[in-house]
Amino acid sequence: MRIGELAGAAGVSVRALRYYEEQGLLAAQRTPRGQRVYPPAAVDRVQLIQQLYAAGLPSRTILELLPCVDAGVSTPESLARLAAERDRIDEQIAGLIATRDRLDRVIAIASDPTHPCMTS
Amino acid sequence: MRIGELAGAAGVSVRALRYYEEQGLLAAQRTPRGQRVYPPAAVDRVQLIQQLYAAGLPSRTILELLPCVDAGVSTPESLARLAAERDRIDEQIAGLIATRDRLDRVIAIASDPTHPCMTS
DNA sequence: CTAGAACCTGACGTTGACGTCAGAGGCAAG
DNA sequence: CTTGCCTCTGACGTCAACGTCAGGTTCTAG
């Protein structure tokens, strides 16, 4: 598939795909005239990249962990790195749950009809 | 307390505190000579701001929700906004859990001594 | 064969939450 | 009184993940 199709299928921009290639995250075959060609599996890979970005990992870290996550190739170092990132995500989850619960309590109090501070 | 003390107590930089004031998130009294003075409660407020930043909220949104979360002052609009952000955080948590579980599976497979792809 | 869509490289623009530097003033200690 | 640390304003720097534009090439439908 070509870059526009991949972008549509994976839900990202064409520019983002070229950026991923620039960062070494996503390789592409080329036609004799220089246009990028991707295998169908690239869709999953792009979505994985997006998922890791969403978890707050920078390109460099994703680059280090992708062979590990994607192909199952692992060294002791990459495994440790993987575990460290997992723990970081865990802390992030815990923080978000605390924030959500705090917002929930605020909502509960503010939704209480007997609440004294309604502006309306 | 002065700005340096608050920064130390809340675990942020002096620059960050001035930035929060610039964004309208954190008011400060001033000495006759113009130096900022904060009440002890500012520590909690700064940590709340940090928590909301960590949840991915931009300054503008925090500004809209702070009176609500901090003082319990709520309008129907801010309440809806609050609920929307709560739901966004919920989705964010779900995504992070999926990512963490994916990493967990990779770690489990790669840690398996019978795994075929260990480089070492 | 030709128009228009899709693609290419290269390069500069954007945004948010600060970092950092310059230059000047304030403040307790010795 | 001066040394040294803290503070002030103002302004430019940073970094990451792209957006966007320019100027040119390639592919495809009619």
Q: How many CB atoms lie within 10 A of CB A45?
A: 20
- Can you give the residue ranges of every domain in chain A? 3-111
Q: What is the dihedral of CA A40, A42, A46, A51, to 10 degrees?
A: 80
Comparing alpha-carbon positions, the chain A residue that sits nearest to B73 is A117
* B72-91: average pLDDT: 90
Comparing alpha-carbon positions, the chain A residue that sits nearest to B99 is A51
Inter-residue contact A39 to A46 (CB < 8 Å)? no
Q: For residue B15, which nucleotide's C1' is closest to its Cα? A: C18
Q: Specify the CATH number for B1-72; select among 3.40.190.10, 3.30.70.1380, 1.10.1660.10, 3.30.1330.60.
A: 1.10.1660.10
φ, ψ at A30 (rounded to 5°):
-125, 145
Question: Under an 8 A CB cutoff, do A72 and B106 touch?
Answer: yes
Residue type, B18: R
Whether A120 has a pLDDT exceeding 50, the answer reads no
Rounded to an integer, what distance in angstroms lies between the CA atom of residue A57 and that of residue A54?
A: 7
CATH 1.10.3720.10 fits A3-111, yes or no: no
Question: Using N-to-C axis directions, what is the helix angle for A42-54 and A59-71, rounded to 10°?
Answer: 130
Q: Is residue A117 very low, low, confident or very high in pLDDT (cuts 50, 70, 90)?
A: low
Residue B70, CB-side half-sphere exposure with 13 Å CA sphere? 19
> What per-residue confidence (pLDDT) applies to A118?
55
> What per-residue confidence (pLDDT) applies to A116?
61
Rounded to an integer, what distance in angstroms lies between the CA atom of residue A120 and that of residue B82?
A: 16
